[in-house]
Structure 1
Amino acid sequence: MRIQFLRNATLLLEWNNKKILVDPMLGAKSSMDPVANAANSIRNPTTDLPINEEALNSMLASLDAIIVTHTHRDHWDVAAQTLLPKDLPLFCQPEDVEIITAQGFTQVIPIVTAATWNNIRITRTGGQHGTGEIGKKMAPVSGFVMKDEQVTLYIAGDTIWCEEVTTAMDLHQPDYVVVNAGAAQFLQGDPITMTAADVINTIQHPAHSKVIAVHMEAINHCYLTREALAAAVAAQNLTAIIPAPGEWIDA
């Protein structure tokens, strides 16, 4: 299994000779309005994809499946809805089946608890996309644990450090955890994705998973940068994988 980080939460997994695209945000730089009620009005995405149009089309033509953790536009944008083949197996949380089916996708597979595809067990996990009333409004969100005989990957999704994350790590003991950092925040309320402290808590969890931190420097209300996160982790004498856009991670 290996992972290519593309941008924000978008990942390409190569696993058991299959290609799986996770949380595709495929639009060009500045193609979406900014997130409202933020500290700036920069249009989204704030960066381009790290691959050109030809490479993107080639990747899309080679896909075997899609995973969408939730349908917020920085994980499932109009470009993805338009460009992706409509007949691919698409795994999602049950709450999003109707939305995605209405967009023309014909193999939408809800993960209520777990399912097996291509000898990969996919188990849905919970999360908290913020605290208080904001967290309730941002819900529902899911993560997914993917496991075969050799490796276990936990894609936590849009969540802060919370009981649902610790429970998933305790239960599944993942080799790798992908966390959505960026410390996304509105003008009111607490962060709705992981802060540097949340990432550090994930690294220090007794499961001893290798932590891959993404979801930075692509959306206007994400203020934690890759550089700042790396410095915070290093200050605790810890390590994390903080990939640059386009970078491959070999498991």
Structure 2
Amino acid sequence: MDRRKFLGLSGTTALVSAVGLPVLAHATVNDSPEETLQIQWLGGATMLISFDGVTFLTDPAFGVGKQAIVMPNPNEMFDLAKGPNIKPQPRFGALPAFDLGAVTATLISHSHPDHFDAAAEAKIASDMAMITTEHDKQVLVKKGFSNITALPWGEQMVFPTKSGQITITAVPAEHSENAEILKILGPGNGYFFEFVAGDYRRTMYWTGDTFPVDDVMAKVQALGAIDVLVPHVGGVGVTGALGKISMDAADVVDMVDRLKPKRVLPIHHSTFGLFLEPIWKLVQAMERHEAGLDVIAEGSTVQYQ
């Protein structure tokens, strides 16, 4: 199957009334100084990560309504030789309001349509600074974007802030535990962050679409202790021909056991029809775990002091 045919479709947009998700677990939302890591979840894999005057947008998917994203459907069976069925994926609520003009750069784990959709492509300026894989750099260039940095696994970028800096290291993201399916889905990035300003220091690992396989975990562990783990969940694909292509609750617990973060902020769940596993399963699985779990509503902001 041609990978481009499988991955090359993106969505259309339509308006729908907002349906808010409840806050299911602990989240700290306080008035804090700028030199504090703040994360606003906008749904799916889309976040605003803000620290000391710098704001990153992640995996922008802005589509709303019943046809929020039109994409190959990984949750249905199909002939791998012929390719998947194309199906609209609904967004169940509204896209939270946010200021795109405040974004310093956009970080993309990979460019599948639920991580960079047609609505985002239309709204984001063509000269927006973007960081992604070498493969997805070429995809974005063909879409007309011009300010793209490919960050290979193990390499870093440093962003100065008002009184400190943010260091970002790219790590592998393995979208499937099946080597043949992984070839179809292609390479992705996870990102390890270090936020420093004065006496403040926090680290964060944003997984991208990966599993806690040995190679990925070893590379992340080598970067040091993790204050905040941001895993992609949702159990996508378990009913389809590709098999599971995003973590479920058991995978996240495995990752937490191995990486031992202080807090866990799950994303990539609940927003779109694409996501199969309800987030309460992770809440239940983490109930007696030492790591704290922050499950927040779309549009909410969590701060790590």
TM-score for both structures, normalised by structure 2: 0.74
1:151 is paired with a residue whose SS is strand
- Which consecutive residues of structure 1, in runs of 5 or more, have no partner in the other structure? none
**Which residue in the other structure is 2:140 paired with?**
100
How far off its partner does 1:242 sit? 2.0
Give the distance between the partners of 1:245 and 1:64, measured in 2 at CA.
Answer: 21
The structure whose Rg is larger is 2
Task: Quickly say closer, same or farther: Cα 1:46–1:28, change in 2 above 3 A.
Answer: closer
Give the distance between the partners of 2:235 and 2:300, measured in 1 at CA.
Answer: 22
Greater share of helix residues, 1 or 2? 1
Give the distance between the partners of 1:238 and 1:3, measured in 2 at CA.
Answer: 18
The one-letter amino acid of 2:244's match is: P
Give the distance between the partners of 1:200 and 1:148, measured in 2 at CA.
Answer: 25
The one-letter amino acid of 2:158's match is: T
The one-letter amino acid of 2:204's match is: L
Please give the residue correspondences for 1:1-251 in structure 2 after superposition, counting only pairs within 5 Å.
Answer: 1-31=37-67, 32-33=69-70, 35-39=72-76, 43-51=88-96, 55-56=97-98, 59-112=99-152, 113-118=155-160, 119-132=165-178, 133-149=180-196, 150-172=201-223, 173-185=225-237, 186-234=239-287, 239-251=292-304
238-247 vs 61-70, which deviates more?
Answer: 238-247
Q: Which runs of 4+ in 1 moved over 3 A?
A: 39-43, 206-209, 235-239
How far off its partner does 1:182 sit? 0.4
1:120 is paired with a residue whose SS is strand
Give the distance between the partners of 1:62 and 1:234, measured in 2 at CA.
Answer: 36
1:95 is paired with a residue whose SS is helix
The one-letter amino acid of 1:136's match is: K
1:202 touches 1:211 (CA, 8 Å); kept in 2?
Answer: no
Give the distance between the partners of 1:194 and 1:101, measured in 2 at CA.
Answer: 30
The one-letter amino acid of 1:78's match is: A
The C-alpha deviation readout for 1:61-95, integer Å capped at 9, x for no partner, is 22111111100011100111110122221111111
Identity rate of aligned residues, in percent? 22
> Whose RCO is larger (CA < 8 A, sep 6+)?
2
Q: CA RMSD in A?
A: 2.2
Task: Quickly say closer, same or farther: Cα 1:206–1:19, change in 2 above 3 A.
Answer: closer
1:181 touches 1:214 (CA, 8 Å); kept in 2?
Answer: yes
2:188 touches 2:208 (CA, 8 Å); kept in 1?
Answer: yes
- Which consecutive residues of structure 2, in runs of 5 or more, have no partner in the other structure? 1-36, 78-85
2:76 touches 2:241 (CA, 8 Å); kept in 1?
Answer: no
